[in-house]
A and B are shown apart, each in its own frame.
Chain A
Amino acid sequence: MKSAAALDRSPLRAANRVGWLPALITYSLCGLGSFLMLLPLFWLVRSSVMTLDQIFRYPPEWIPAPFAWQNYPDALTTVPFLLYFKNTVFILVPTVVGTVITATLAAYGFSRLRWPGRDLIFNILLTTLMLPYAITLIPTFLLWAHLGLVNTTWPLVLPRWCGGGIFYIFLLRQFFRTIPRELDEAAILDGANPLQVLWHVVVPLSRPALITVAIFSALGAWNDFLGPLMYLNESSKYTLALGLAEFTGLYSSQWHLLMAASTVVIIPVVLLFFFAQRYFIEGIALTGTKG
């Protein structure tokens, strides 16, 4: 560490500084990359504010004139998107609450409480990260069908109250392990039981990790398509993702409405990303640094 710091100050460093030509190349490539990444989103928004007439015009209009804002109310009333939104929230909220509570408990039990066989069991659980989801799909469905709970939100919510998913437990466990043990010991000496330690010591210090888990699980519920597709078969129970798929099937050539509906589904996610970007990036980076 010391030698690296010394090198930083040495004249050698000058050789490593970015010259104007490499910087120009880097900026050009970044600019090109950004252009390509944003182009589909631009096309999305552009098409969402055009009339069908404008869309089918040749040569294509890059910037629509005038903007057809009417597409949004049209799209949202053609299909009951408000109902789908409500259905989605009714799945999303209990999913996030269940994931955060049970994943926190599990991560705490797997990191800060000592009991025989703990790490072995955690490692066994961790192997399920590599398990293809396709293998559990059918028996799980048959189980819910047997219980008569297909076409309810139980199959989508209840599993999330069982630890939320090993990925989240892993993420929180990694974070909990960075908190000094002495803090737990001090609280225990004051007569706190482990749950009180968790609530008063660990949770307040782990807010960023908990927010990350909440965001990821909320996104998971918002974006989930296969789950609702398998378990919800009455259109009055559809989520937004499922509603959008149905809309696509019914109005396959109404591109202006389809793009408006897609934009509506995308916007909350993009807003969440802009406001909570740090948690996205750090949460994902954390999984890679200690695979």
Chain B
Amino acid sequence: MNNGSRRTKTKSLVSRERREMIWGLICVAPALAGFLFWQVGPILGSLVIAFTDWTVANTPRWIGFSNFQRMLFADPLFYKSLSVTGIYAATGVFLNLSFALALALLLSQKIFGLTFFRTIFYLPSTVPAIASSVLWLWLFNPEFGLFNSILTGLGLPKQQWIYDENSVLASLILMNLWSVGPLMVIFLAGLQTIPKYLYDAVAVDGGNAWHKFRFITLPLLTPTILFNLILSIIDTFQVFTQPYVMTQGGPNNASLLYVLYLYRKAFQEYDMGYASALAWVLFLIIALISFVVLQTSRRWVFYVGGSE
């Protein structure tokens, strides 16, 4: 009797575990299918296509490393887009993070009306990329745009902005600063996790605002900085809409950002094999940079209580 009831109890426990597992798998099934169909499959697919000469019209032929050889030894535009993207990403990431952090620090002050300013600082990042591209195209207009109107008003010489190969990247980076809202909000969330008594401790020791920033805010914010850094690197390396709409990579390929070049090869020249090789190189570059950042982060990211 006693023995029997125990057996049914174990049995029901086992069947409950089984049932929970079946339900769990049912629930995650669409997401797993999506992962296989839209992530794993395409990644492997693009790796295979990168070794072919597929142009959609022909039957793909295996050509080994030819696409990569062509990229490295016979395609000056590849190097051009790589250097353009490198400069854009390095400068853009640094300025975006600095500006977002400055805004977040400003908003973390305890004064009245800061939700209002937060709303305004965030607002531009809600503007769709295509609309902001059209808008900034107009702001940069050399004749009647906002920026040159201001410069003329101040008695300064007009600039060519995106229409000059020397200033086009700087102009696009400037434009990007307009939409740092999400980075700022993530910094703000990070700032809010810093315990107030640490600042009081600095005040007791006679420290000033700089000391508070340098010895409390900055170290305790390093996990957030790391997160934003990785996020921005992945984003800025793949910017597409702005150069596509505003400059088409010009003038003289000075804004030929990598994904724009890839898009051109894939969807305008239908050189799918070569474009896939380009995609894989970009993937490896981003993975390598992220890896290096994460490795070095052990030295500069400070985790409270030493836990990661």
Contact B200 A26 (CB under 8 A): no
- Given A40-B139, A270-B126, A135 and B280 contact (CB-CB distance below 8 Å): yes
Q: How far is the CA of A242 from the CA of B23 in the complex (A)?
A: 41
- Given A115-B24, A138-B49, A244 and B130 contact (CB-CB distance below 8 Å): yes
User: Which residues does chain A contribute within 8 Å of B185, judged by CB atoms?
Assistant: 280-281, 284-285, 288
Contact B118 A136 (CB under 8 A): no
For residue B34, CB closer than 8 A to chain A, the reply is: yes
User: Which residues does chain B contribute within 8 Å of A259, judged by CB atoms?
Assistant: 134-135, 138
Contact A22 B23 (CB under 8 A): no
Contact B106 A33 (CB under 8 A): yes
- Give residues of chain B (82-115) contacting chain A, Cβ–Cβ below 8 Å: 103, 106-107, 109-111, 114
Which residue of B24, B25, B123 contacts A270 across the interface (Cβ within 8 Å)?
A: B123
Q: How far is the CA of A261 from the CA of B144 in the complex (A)?
A: 19
- Given A195-B23, A255-B141, A139 and B41 contact (CB-CB distance below 8 Å): yes
- Given A16-B200, A138-B266, A265-B131, A116 and B27 contact (CB-CB distance below 8 Å): no
Residue of A nearest to B136 (CB): A40
User: Which residues does chain B contribute within 8 Å of A102, judged by CB atoms?
Assistant: 30-31, 34
For residue B74, CB closer than 8 A to chain A, the reply is: no
For residue A181, CB closer than 8 A to chain B, the reply is: no
- Count of chain A residues near B, Cβ 8 A: 103
- Give residues of chain A (155-177) contacting chain B, Cβ–Cβ below 8 Å: 159, 161-163, 166, 169
Residue of A nearest to B18 (CB): A115
- Count of chain B residues near A, Cβ 8 A: 104
Contact B186 A29 (CB under 8 A): no
Q: How far is the CA of A44 from the CA of B111 in the complex (A)?
A: 31
Interface SS of chain A: helix
Residue of A nearest to B25 (CB): A115
Instruction: Mark each residue of chain A from 87 to 118: 1 if its CB lies under 8 Å from any CB of chain B, else 0.
Output: 00000000000000011011011100111101
Contact B38 A162 (CB under 8 A): yes
Question: Closest Cβ of chain B: how far from A251's Cβ, in Å?
Answer: 11
Q: How far is the CA of A137 from the CA of B240 in the complex (A)?
A: 13
Residue of B nearest to A286 (CB): B189
Contact A289 B190 (CB under 8 A): yes
For residue A70, CB closer than 8 A to chain B, the reply is: no
User: Which residues does chain A contribute within 8 Å of B131, judged by CB atoms?
Assistant: 241, 244, 262, 265-266
Contact B238 A248 (CB under 8 A): no
Contact B272 A142 (CB under 8 A): yes
Question: Closest Cβ of chain B: how far from A109's Cβ, in Å?
Answer: 3
- Given A105-B28, A125-B31, A130-B290, A288 and B267 contact (CB-CB distance below 8 Å): no
Interface SS of chain B: helix
Contact A105 B123 (CB under 8 A): no
Residue of B nearest to A242 (CB): B130
Instruction: Mark each residue of chain A from 230 to 249: 1 if its CB lies under 8 Å from any CB of chain B, else 0.
Output: 10000000000110110010
- Given A105-B27, A244-B134, A284-B182, A125 and B35 contact (CB-CB distance below 8 Å): yes
For residue A7, CB closer than 8 A to chain B, the reply is: yes
User: Which residues does chain B contribute within 8 Å of A272, judged by CB atoms?
Assistant: 126
Contact A134 B259 (CB under 8 A): yes
Instruction: Mark each residue of chain B from 268 to 308: 1 if its CB lies under 8 Å from any CB of chain A, else 0.
Output: 00001001100110110010001000000000000000000
User: Which residues does chain A contribute within 8 Å of B66, judged by CB atoms?
Assistant: none
User: Which residues does chain B contribute within 8 Å of A118, judged by CB atoms?
Assistant: 24
Contact B30 A26 (CB under 8 A): no
Contact B42 A140 (CB under 8 A): yes
Q: How far is the CA of A261 from the CA of B137 in the complex (A)?
A: 14
For residue A72, CB closer than 8 A to chain B, the reply is: no
Q: Which of A33, A37, A269, A281 has the most CB of B within 10 A?
A: A37
User: Which residues does chain A contribute within 8 Å of B153, judged by CB atoms?
Assistant: 59
Q: How far is the CA of A280 from the CA of B118 in the complex (A)?
A: 12
Which residue of B35, B117, B199, B275 contacts A16 across the interface (Cβ within 8 Å)?
A: B199
- Given A265-B131, A266-B131, A132 and B186 contact (CB-CB distance below 8 Å): no
Q: How far is the CA of A34 from the CA of B30 in the complex (A)?
A: 43
Contact A60 B27 (CB under 8 A): no
- Give residues of chain A (7-36) contacting chain B, Cβ–Cβ below 8 Å: 7-8, 12-13, 15-18, 22-23, 26-27, 29-30, 33-34
For residue B45, CB closer than 8 A to chain A, the reply is: yes
Q: How far is the CA of A116 from the CA of B204 in the complex (A)?
A: 52
Contact B227 A262 (CB under 8 A): no
Question: Closest Cβ of chain A: how far from B233's Cβ, in Å?
Answer: 10
Contact B283 A132 (CB under 8 A): yes
Instruction: Mark each residue of chain B from 180 to 191: 1 if its CB lies under 8 Å from any CB of chain A, else 0.
Output: 001001111110
Question: Closest Cβ of chain A: how far from B304's Cβ, in Å?
Answer: 13
B residues with CB within 8 A of A: 17, 19-21, 23-28, 30-35, 37-39, 41-43, 45-46, 49, 56, 103, 106-107, 109-111, 114, 117-124, 126-131, 134-139, 141, 143-144, 146, 149, 152-153, 178, 182, 185-190, 193, 195-197, 199-200, 203-204, 209, 223-224, 226-228, 230, 234, 237-238, 240-241, 245, 258-259, 262-263, 266-267, 272, 275-276, 279-280, 282-283, 286, 290
Name 17 interchain pairs, CB-CB below 8 A, sorted by A.
A22-B109, A26-B109, A41-B124, A59-B152, A109-B24, A115-B24, A121-B28, A130-B234, A137-B266, A138-B49, A139-B41, A194-B23, A194-B24, A225-B128, A255-B144, A262-B131, A262-B135
